[in-house]
Chains A and B, each alone.
Chain A
């Protein structure tokens, strides 16, 4: 049976893993290679490495750091942040990524999705969507932001997810900016709206606090995978302990791991 994936995310800035709340107030959480290995050993089904300041600062992904993190990693490894061209993507694959995640560049140049997919396969291209809802507005109105949540993109999340799928994305990584870092739970409504709008897998992100939040986003949010960062880095919930709780809740997970 296909299991629900637990994804550990490393938000990297200047070569260090950082953790913020609603995309600001960053604190240091450690070395990327060390944390990637630790999370994989603890049972993470995937590791995502996001260079969160690359686009904002207008520079490429930290290739050397990616290489170091990938070295001893035998679970899927996704890298995002600062990938603007098919050549950028190729360099990241060469450094050891199995998938790449694009966000701002995909919105600016949607044809990039297909261009990377044609060389490395559609399954290797994740389109990341950072979305924010306005109080009182319907889910369909949720807005997309780019450049690490700094700039509105003038697009609606659900409609953009559909376009990304049509253009050949293999997965959607959906982050609720409202929930990010709050540890108050994923935005299940938004996740479900996107998951039902597309036929490709959706990774829910933003708001993970406890096992119950994961159960809800898999059941109500119809997510195929769920991502968290801070709760794992600071040892609040080990991935294995989380999976054991999910299994008790009847969610299929990879155990033993």
Chain B
């Protein structure tokens, strides 16, 4: 079972549909016990970083931490990726998971914000998550904050500046774009994740 963590942030229906379309058995949950039982964990999300406070309050953060430590594959989407970092200037009083030390920040002024639309990926060839997705493929983004380039970055996108489109370190993965809304490239990514050994 893949636990899709419901923390009242975003287009959960779309994420569930896309997972079903690639043959997964997703379960939408707010229950830490279900997260602990899961063989994979997905943290979706669009919206404000402060929404992740719910994870702490409901004991979900601890359950996710335990799962990650046990080697359970984890995929964060959009805010779910940003939450893996130490925090975001969008909600300075709300710490992230801290798996990676960087801080997420708003795009520099000069471009239209939010960054909305289909933008291209520059992909690290060894990424397992992005396997089979062509260099330069377009995926759908919608966000105002972004993670900086880090040593865990496996895909980079350019919007006024280069930023992290995907990260991957062992069982911890995240994407800034929305694979559930990125056509065949997005479904391929979800299939890659779903087929990873538990």
Contacts and interface: CB of A to CB of B under 8 A. Distances in A.
A122 B114 contact: yes
A121 B9 contact: yes
Interface in A63-77: 70-72, 74-77
A247 interface: no
A120 B182 contact: no
A225 B117 contact: yes
B33 to A, nearest CB: 25
A257 B117 CA distance: 14
Contacts of A225: 117
A225 B117 CA distance: 9
A224 B47 CA distance: 21
A74 B21 contact: yes
A219 interface: no
B112 A200 contact: yes
Contacts of B180: 74
Contacts of B143: 123
Interface string A150-166: 00000000000000000
B128 interface: no
Q: Specify the main secondary structure of chain B where it touches its partner.
A: mixed
A32 interface: no
Contacts of A122: 114, 144
A76 B140 CA distance: 8
A2 interface: yes
13 contacts: A45-B140, A72-B21, A76-B140, A93-B11, A93-B13, A120-B46, A120-B47, A121-B48, A123-B114, A124-B46, A170-B114, A200-B113, A201-B114
Given A74-B21, A124-B11, 11 more contacts: A1-B158, A75-B182, A97-B11, A98-B181, A119-B47, A121-B46, A123-B114, A200-B112, A200-B114, A225-B117, A254-B118
Interface of B: 8-11, 13-14, 17-18, 21, 46-48, 112-120, 138, 140, 142-144, 158-159, 178, 180-184, 186-187
